[in-house]
Each structure stands twice: as C-alpha cells, then as structure tokens.
Chain A
Amino acid sequence: MRRAFAKLLGTWLLLLLLGALEFASSFLPLARCWRPLIMLPGVLMILAVAVSFMEVRKGPTIIRAFAAAAAFWLLILLALGSADPLTRIDYRLQTGEEHDATISSPP
C-alpha cells in the first residue's frame, strides 16, 4: 500500500507541476498559430493520468489496443478534418471593419 500510495502521490505532484508549466507557458509571447503548442504539457498530464491512475499498462493487452485506437482515430479526425480548412482559400465578405472584437460600453 505504501509503495502504491507513493507512486500515486508522485503522479499527483507531477500533474500539478505540469499544470503549472502549462499555465506559465500560456504567458509566453507566441504567435497566434503556434499557441496550440501550449497544450504539450497538457498532453503529458493526460499520459500521466492514463498510465498511473488508469493503469493502462497493466491488465490485458486489449485495453492498450483500445486506448491506442482511440488516440489514433482522434488524430485522424483532427488531422484529415483540418486538412481542408488549413489548405483552403477563404473568400471573405468585405464588411469594411478590420479590427478585432472590442468590448462595448457597459449595457
């Protein structure tokens, strides 16, 4: 029990650390299209939860196959799905306004 608890505690501390790292990295002055990279610590957090709390490496092989399939198919959905908008030329309506959204005066 003691060893099991120590491992879980270690994971929890790692998660908090990675979370702090992710939070801190959001303040980096990255260009808008690179900002999704902030998620990298988040991906490591997900892996930590899956390995340590969900014990994906223990148990029958089939559960690792299911987990890998989920990750793979998610990737296909997102990658092949983004291929179109990312390579498409969008012809925008000319609305005459070029600036970002702004906050209006209090209603």
Chain B
Amino acid sequence: MNTAAGDSYLTDGYTIRSWLLTTDHKRIALLYLGSITVFFFIGGIAAALVRLNLIVPQGLLGSAEAYNRLFTMHGVVMVWFFLVPAVPVTLGNFVIPLMLGARDLAFPRLNLLSWYLFVAGGAITLWALFVGGVDTGWTFYTPLSTAYSKSHVVLAAAGIFVAGFSSIATGLNFIVSIHRLRAPGMTWYKLPVFLWSLYALSVLLVLATPVLAITLLLVMLERIFHIGVFDPAVGGDPLLFQHLFWFYSHPAVYMMILPGFGVVSEIIPAFSRKRIFGYKFVVWASVSIAVISFFVWGHHMFVAGTSIYSAVLFSILSYLVAVPSAIKVFNWLGTMHRGYIHFDAPMLYALGFIGLFTIGGLTGLWLAALAADVHLTQTYFVVAHFHYIMVGGMVSAFFGGLHYWWPKITGRMYPEMWARVAALVMFIGFNLTFFPQFILGYLGMPRRYFSYAPEFQVLNVLSSAGATILAAAYLLPLAYLTWSLVYGDRAPANPWHATGLEWRTPSPPPTANFAQTPIVTEDPYSYQPPGAVPKHG
C-alpha cells in the first residue's frame, strides 16, 4: 500500500472488495457514515409521521396502534442506530488514530467486524419494524413487552442485541488504542479533549452495553418461554427490567452526548483561536460524567413504584452528575471570552450546541427533583428535555464535527454560505419544534398518546410546523455535502489553521496516515493570536 503523491486512502483501491474488506479506519468510518445516514433518515421519517399525526387533536393517522409503532420505530432507530454510534463510529473512527499519531486503531479487523455487526443488527431491527413494528416504545417496559404486546418484540430485541456487540467492540478498540498507541511525547495531558471524551464514552460502551445484552436476552426468553422473571404472578418483578434497562440506558444518553462535548471542545478553541479554558477541568469533568452517569439510573423510575429511599438516593446523585456538565459549559464560554471568533459553520453548530444543551440540561434538573418529577414525568416536558439535549445538542455537534473534519475526510471544502444557512435554519426549526413541547408538558399533555385534548392544538401545530423546517434543514447538508464531493474546492491540509496532529496530514490523508510517526512536544490547543504563524511543534 505505497502511496505516491496525490494518492490518498480514497484512491487506494477502487473495488467493492477493497471497501467491504477494508481494515483502514478511515474507510470503515465512511462505511459507517453511509449506514448511519440511512438510519437517520428512517428515524426522521418516523418522526415526521408522528408530528403529522399530532396536527389534529384526534390524531390524523386515526390509529393508536400505528402511532405506537411509529414512535417506537423513531426511538429505537434514533437511539441505537444513530445517536449512540454517530460521532464515535464516523468522526471517532476517522480522527482518533490521526489525533494519536498512529497508523490505525489497535485492532483494525475488530473494527471491521464492528461495522458488520452494526449492519446486521440494523438489518434485523429494520426487518422487525417493517414487518409490522413494535408498539412498546424504545424502552420495552415489561410486562407489556413480555406478556401483552402483539408486536415483533423478539425480533427487534434481537437486532439491538447484535448491534450492542458492535458498540462493545468499538469501545474496546478505542480504549486500548488511546492507552497504547499515543505518539511519542503525547502524554495524557497532551491529549486533545476529543480523545478524552471518546475515552470516557468508550468506558460507558464497554461496561453498560453488556447489561443491555443480558436484559434483552431475558426479555426474549420471557416472551418466548414465559420464564417469569418479570411476571408478578410467578414472583417476578417488572421493575427488575426497568433497573436493568436503565442501568444501561442512562449511561447510554451520556454515550450520546460525551462525543458531542468532545467535538464542541475541538471546534470552540479552533474558531476562537484560543486555547481551551481550564483543560484539566474539562478533562476530569468528562471522566467524572462517565463514572457518575452509572449511579443515577433510578431517576427514570421515580413514579414506577421503587422504594422512596432509593428514589431519594438517585435524585441526589442525579444532581451530582449535572455539575461536571455545567463546568464544561463555563469552560467553553471561558475559551471564547477574549478570543477571535470566526462564525464559520462548525462554530455556528457549536454555539447552537452550547445554548440548546444548557436549556436541555437545566430542565433535567427539574426532572431530577422528586416533587417536580411527579407532575412532569411522562409528559411532553420530558420529551422536550431530552430532545433539547439529543437533537439540539448531539445532532448539532454531529453536524458541527462533520463540517469541521469534512475537508480532512473528503479533501473538499463544503460551500460555507449554504452551511451557515443550514445551521441557522436548523436552530430555528429545532426551537420551533421543541420549545412548545416544554409548555405542553407543563400544561399536562401526556407523551406517547396519539390524540390529545383540543386546547393543546395550537402548540402542537407550531411544533409540527417546526418539524417541517427542521426536516428541510437536515436535507440541506445532504444536498450540499454531496455536491461538494464533486464540485467543492480542494481542501488544504489545514483549512482552519487548527492545532492537532490530524491537521498535519494531507486532506484526504494517505492510507498510512503519517509518513513518519510525529513527535509531540506542545500542549494541545497552542493557538497563537492572528498574524502569528501557527506553531505545530
């Protein structure tokens, strides 16, 4: 695999075999990018149909059954096949070895296996959804999922089970790579924050996902063999399912957001031309979030019938986990303060992230309070809360990172004006969609209901209108990013004059990443004021 001048990983083999049997982390990242884009649009179509249904109080689609299956499809596809994988498997896979100064991840063949497991799991789940779907919600609560639902629970659970092993393998690969493959001179405190964030994410992936695996296995066995672990009539406990499920799923939401934190932590310094404020705080905040996120799962179960003592404990711990996230917001603001801000598209997405994530995070604090949660739980307040974090935060971060590293990945610049327009439209559409939902929740509209009281209609219509705008905003990047692959300007090695080892390779990089293993002497984010030539050490 010698690379001559002008060659890159993209030109290193044109056959389908060279793509489907690649062990190059960069190609695997692109395989993943294609897959998650497909899943994103499938989940998005389900969301569009959900919002369509909610335009009229009696439910436009006319069927509660169909509605249940739609919001389940939306949740399942978005959570496991877009949000959890998106940044790690596309941006993470591509950038991690470059940022480390390595040739590839520690276990390249395992990386390829991860992709195949992901696709297999996705295929099984899509099959379940298209032969009729599941009506339990993405949370699969028992005993509905195990005893009463007449939908394809086992098939959907099997698909997620398989995809879970993809997550575990990826997390394992990332952790071992970050430990063992750092370039000479790259001590832990010289790692870019993106790597720390992905390391924290990977700890979550490897420790939480196995519990999901055993939980789904138990659900499948209960449904097929009626084993009874979740059935009170036999002495089982439906809450056991919720404990096991949320032990995974609460860390899962941190799996979704930590990479977003990492992306934003790369973009803000680059577009403020200033080193990150409080590097060690940001780093240890990420690690703390990873650890504490395992201690808070009971806050999803405050009204489920758990003991009040356990609820109090989980409430206190949930307040604790908010602290490191808040710290990061101050770090990003501190980075921008007295910086030289450039409002390129990645920065617009990062700024949107900070605002929307803060709103989502603060509303989480209300939900963590037992007394408030009694009224707000299972309403649209919760829906708005997590969409502010997942869509307002995580999806913005994903698009920000995609634009930021697009020149490196493809060797092309995207059209800046269209990208800014898309970021702005996304911000507007997002707020129009989800802000009314906070009000709806406060007013008492329950979630997962296909119809609602007529007095909620205006806010619902606003929300659905916003969803249309949001959909357009997501189609824009699909269009102009594809356009840029053929017509975009050729990108230089470092179009943003950013620090980081990945910017020292050509755009796009050769298969081997580096002609020589780089040696690291400088701190990360050693930005100079404008006018000075950026030092790379």
Contact = CB atoms under 8 A, between A and B. Distances in A.
Interface of A: 62, 69-70, 73, 76-77, 80-81, 83-89, 93
Contacts of A93: 232
B307 A84 contact: yes
Contacts of A81: 243-244, 247
Interface residues of B, number: 22
A73 B295 contact: no
B211 interface: yes
A80 B179 CA distance: 30
Given A69-B203, A80-B310, A83-B313, 11 more contacts: A69-B207, A73-B207, A76-B294, A81-B243, A81-B244, A84-B298, A85-B307, A86-B307, A87-B309, A88-B307, A88-B310
B298 A80 contact: yes
Contacts of B295: 76, 80
A16 B179 CA distance: 38
A70 to B, nearest CB: 8
Interface in B150-207: 179, 203, 207
A70 B172 CA distance: 13
A9 B307 CA distance: 49
Contacts of B231: none
B310 A83 contact: yes
A65 to B, nearest CB: 9
A70 B203 CA distance: 11
B344 interface: no
Majority SS of interface residues in chain A?
helix
A84 B232 CA distance: 16
A89 B310 CA distance: 12
Interface string B290-317: 0000110110010001110110011000
B409 to A, nearest CB: 30
Interface of B: 179, 203, 207, 211, 232, 237, 239, 243-244, 247, 294-295, 297-298, 301, 305-307, 309-310, 313-314
Contacts of A88: 305-307, 310
Majority SS of interface residues in chain B?
helix
In order of increasing CB-CB distance, the 10 nearest A-B pairs are A88-B307, A87-B307, A84-B310, A83-B310, A87-B309, A84-B306, A73-B207, A81-B243, A84-B307, A62-B179
Contacts of A62: 179
A20 B314 CA distance: 41
A99 to B, nearest CB: 15
Nearest to A90: B237
A87 B244 CA distance: 17
Contacts of A86: 307
A15 B239 CA distance: 38
Contacts of B297: 80
Contact of B310 (A69, A77, A87): A87
B299 to A, nearest CB: 12
Most chain A CB within a 10 A radius of its CB, from B179, B211, B307: B307
A62 B181 CA distance: 13
A77 B247 CA distance: 7
Contacts of B247: 77, 81
22 contacts: A69-B203, A69-B207, A70-B207, A73-B294, A76-B295, A80-B295, A80-B298, A81-B243, A81-B247, A83-B307, A83-B309, A83-B310, A84-B298, A84-B301, A84-B306, A85-B237, A86-B307, A87-B309, A87-B310, A88-B307, A88-B310, A89-B307
